[in-house]
Structure 1
Amino acid sequence: MNGASRPLEGITVIDLGQIYNGPYATLLMAMGGARVIKIEPLQGENMRRRGAVGGAMVPFAMLNSNKEFITLNIKSEQGRKLLKEMVAKADVLLENFAPGVMDRLGLGPKVMMELNPRLVYAAGSGFGWSGPYRDYPAMDLTVQALSGVMSTTGFPDRPPVKAGPAVCDFFGGIHLYAAVVTALLDRERTGKGHFVEVSMLEAVYCSLSSPLGLYFGGNGQLPTRTGNRHSGLAEAPYNVYRAADGWIALICVSETHWTSLLEAMERTDLNGDPRLGSLKARVENIDFVDETITAWTSTRTREELYDRLRKHRVPCAPVRDLDEVVHDPHLHERGMLRNVEHPLLGPLVLPTTPLRFDGKAPPEIEPSKTLGADNDEVYRDFLGLDAKEIEQLRKEGVI
């Protein structure tokens, strides 16, 4: 996969990740050139098993390109032995089980790093490996609730809502990738591995910076939800405005943006209006600002608005649906999205990686495979087992 020129070429990752958090971290590693060996239980990891529900197998395909697929029953004695043999030869072991699961199996970081002192053992979890929440069940939805994401999402007169995407899972996965790569850099300097762990709760906290600014600026008074307005109520205009055929998002973060917007709207007559003369004034009169802009946007199409506002250098974007995003020409030209004929799912548009190195295009996509598709090759070539030994593992229910 053009790996020779990629930064993680030569790094072997043993991937025990499941659902979104761990698999996204290891997808970034695979796209960076690492060899990623994905280990699944005999029935497949949870995301693969969701394939029984229509379309639910697509996220598995999105997050597991460019990996090798093997099965292993790590609850069996022989399975644990084989995992240890792989870890002894690997650079990274990554998992996002609940804290304590791997320790109870005798496969925790202390054991694994004694086997391989250069190992980076990476663990993702909801709340981390210490603290009073350590053993609480954690899913993206529950972390969104506990972290404050839900309380700051939605409109003030309606119940809190979750963010549409699985933000906590993916924030956790991104930070887990960063922790692994940081540990690998330090290993180059010291020769020693690391145990690194990332909490989804902690990974998402800084994304609350705007509502936290409102909270601390209000002497601890809880801010209300702001809908599509700035969550710190520190910008105006900042909203999603109705167009004749949908919606357009618009924001002005400087006085130049504001005066350019008035020019685009052909409303320079408002330049002398004291309700609009400064950012502070516009925030104080935010309803008037939004009503004025909506009166203009609602009579024009998204395309008309986007073209005109861009010409005036006003930050804006049409609110697009998923079909528009999946077929976005910019994302396809840059190689972030690729049309792939998936061997199990047919034609799909799959992501590569948002990381770019030296301007090189991302690698070609090697689609995810059937459960245990690489068992023979990995156990033979990586661990040196012969065909008879591999067949015996199958008979014993180890793979």
Structure 2
Amino acid sequence: MGPLKGIKVLEFVGIGPGPFLGKILNDFGAEIVRVKKMYSFTNFFDTSNNPEITIDLKHPQSVEICRRLASRSDVLIDPYRPGVLERLNLGPETLLKLNDRLVIARLTGYGQTGPFSQKGSHDLNFLALSGVLSLIGYEDKPPIAPLNLVGDFGGGSMLGAFAIVAALYERSLSGRGQIIDHSLTEGTGYISTFVWQTMKFKPIFWPNFPRRNANLLDNGCPFYRCYECADKKFIAVASGEEKFYENLLAVLKPKSSLNRFDIKNWPSISEEFARIIRTKTRDEWCELFDKTDACVTPVLELDEASLHHHNLYRKSFDREKDLPLPAPRFSRTILDSHNDSGDEAKENESNRSNESTEILKQLNFSDSEIDKMSSMGIFE
């Protein structure tokens, strides 16, 4: 059932980081009840196995529903801007009086305080304000958005999940819940600590700083970048250490033997590697590199990843649902992806109204109260 079995989570549904945070907790065993606002944004994560109620949060009776849910929960996920829950009379001060063991995780772009706290924001903004975005992209061109993985889901959902588990552990010692002020910008900065640390070793890691695409790990180095093959597919070369680089050279067999530690040679080495690698297809190169240890891998398309022989051996993907399975793995605890198949998901979605009624019954609302709330359009 997962290491978080028995933990009850109340998730106010937002977009991006919040739903994935809920999914992480659910995949690791927590029970989730999701509260959606009327006409809320599409959820891109399959949460059809989790009980869900859609309510009009502006109605006083909806506030009572949320209070009852919070009073029986271990964790609350708040994805709204600072002050929204307070305006709904659902702020932490109110909820902790009802349940002093509640852990309230407040996910915002810029934190609960500060000049930007009330501004809208997305992953790209978190990267920009943390300083990280300035390092990503090509020289003499604007920085590039590296998908919304680093800020939303790395600095956001993953660190949020860790913070919640840490707060639950602390609660086991103190007996009290607390509020987590999770700024996704600060989270993005924190998971980028390595970048800040390596700035102390610029000659090694950032020899051409502040130029982009010209340093050790930003695609500027010939032995840490991707190359195009004869079939227009790519391989990833990350042969930094000497033994890996020697194995790389043994396979590529370049004519020149330029000193790779002299950054003036990097363009020439890159050009020669690129010329050689364009002579074979990606799979032909992979067949050669699979026989040695050079830190060279194929750049797989999404529809190829689940079919790669290593991922098949590890059962890294649920191939029926075409999704990665939860990670990492535990030695004694089996994790469940909780992702229903398409038909199951549709069936569960059609039963949402029954779920809402069941949730309200569990909260000790009477049948007459539920019927009245339904007629008033308070829930769906």
Interval of TM-score (by shorter of Structure 1 and Structure 2) = 0.7 to 0.9
Taking the aligned partners of 1:148 and 1:66, their CA distance within structure 2 comes to: 39
Equivalent pairs counted in the alignment come to 366
Taking the aligned partners of 2:163 and 2:210, their CA distance within structure 1 comes to: 33
Taking the aligned partners of 1:372 and 1:216, their CA distance within structure 2 comes to: 57
**1:355 — aligned with what?**
328
Gaps of 5+ in 1: 49-58, 341-347
Taking the aligned partners of 1:75 and 1:232, their CA distance within structure 2 comes to: 50
The one-character-per-residue Cα deviations of 1:94-128 (angstroms, maximum 9, x if unpaired) are 11111111112121111111110000011111011
Query: 1:225 is matched by which residue type in structure 2?
Result: R
What's the offset of the Cα at 1:385?
2.6
Taking the aligned partners of 2:9 and 2:173, their CA distance within structure 1 comes to: 20
Query: 1:170 is matched by which residue type in structure 2?
Result: F
**2:83 — aligned with what?**
100
**2:152 — aligned with what?**
169
**Does the 8 Å contact 2:126/2:188 carry over to 1?**
no
The one-character-per-residue Cα deviations of 1:304-330 (angstroms, maximum 9, x if unpaired) are 112212322010122222221355565
Q: Say yes or no: does 1:239 pair with 2:212.
A: no
**1:28 — aligned with what?**
24
The one-character-per-residue Cα deviations of 1:185-231 (angstroms, maximum 9, x if unpaired) are 11111111111121111111145456546755569996122179622
Taking the aligned partners of 1:69 and 1:352, their CA distance within structure 2 comes to: 23
Q: Say yes or no: does 1:376 pair with 2:357.
A: yes
Moved more, 361-370 or 108-117: 361-370
Taking the aligned partners of 2:140 and 2:57, their CA distance within structure 1 comes to: 50
**Does the 8 Å contact 2:78/2:105 carry over to 1?**
yes
**2:12 — aligned with what?**
16
Taking the aligned partners of 2:213 and 2:332, their CA distance within structure 1 comes to: 39
- Secondary structure at 2:227 match in 1: strand
| Match for residue 45 of structure 2 among 31, 51, 60 | 60
| Cα pair distance change 1:23/1:210, threshold 3 Å | same
**1:41 — aligned with what?**
37
Query: 1:394 is matched by which residue type in structure 2?
Result: S
- Secondary structure at 1:15 match in 2: strand
Taking the aligned partners of 1:320 and 1:309, their CA distance within structure 2 comes to: 15
**Does the 8 Å contact 1:113/1:119 carry over to 2?**
yes
Taking the aligned partners of 1:32 and 1:75, their CA distance within structure 2 comes to: 33
Taking the aligned partners of 2:309 and 2:14, their CA distance within structure 1 comes to: 31
Taking the aligned partners of 2:297 and 2:51, their CA distance within structure 1 comes to: 39
Written as runs of structure 1 = structure 2, the 5 A alignment for 1:1-399 is 3=1, 6-43=2-39, 45-48=40-43, 59-61=44-46, 64=47, 66-171=49-154, 172-208=156-192, 212=196, 223-226=210-213, 230-231=217-218, 236-245=222-231, 246-267=233-254, 270=256, 273=257, 275-276=258-259, 280-281=261-262, 283-325=263-305, 327-328=307-308, 330-331=310-311, 334-340=314-320, 348-358=321-331, 360-363=333-336, 365-367=338-340, 369-370=348-349, 372=353, 374-380=355-361, 382-399=362-379
The one-character-per-residue Cα deviations of 1:244-283 (angstroms, maximum 9, x if unpaired) are 111111011211111111111234x75xx4x32xx522x3
* TM-score of the superposed pair, with normalisation by structure 2: 0.87
| Cα pair distance change 1:364/1:161, threshold 3 Å | closer
Taking the aligned partners of 2:250 and 2:226, their CA distance within structure 1 comes to: 19
**Does the 8 Å contact 1:8/1:29 carry over to 2?**
yes
Gaps of 5+ in 2: none
**Does the 8 Å contact 1:155/1:225 carry over to 2?**
yes
**Does the 8 Å contact 1:27/1:66 carry over to 2?**
no
Taking the aligned partners of 1:314 and 1:131, their CA distance within structure 2 comes to: 47
Moved more, 26-35 or 358-367: 358-367
**1:343 — aligned with what?**
none
The one-character-per-residue Cα deviations of 1:350-371 (angstroms, maximum 9, x if unpaired) are 3442132226543153535425
| Cα pair distance change 1:214/1:141, threshold 3 Å | same
- Secondary structure at 2:218 match in 1: coil
* TM-score of the superposed pair, with normalisation by structure 1: 0.83
| Cα pair distance change 1:211/1:182, threshold 3 Å | closer
| Cα pair distance change 1:257/1:10, threshold 3 Å | same
Taking the aligned partners of 1:295 and 1:232, their CA distance within structure 2 comes to: 17
Taking the aligned partners of 2:56 and 2:4, their CA distance within structure 1 comes to: 28
Taking the aligned partners of 2:316 and 2:364, their CA distance within structure 1 comes to: 36
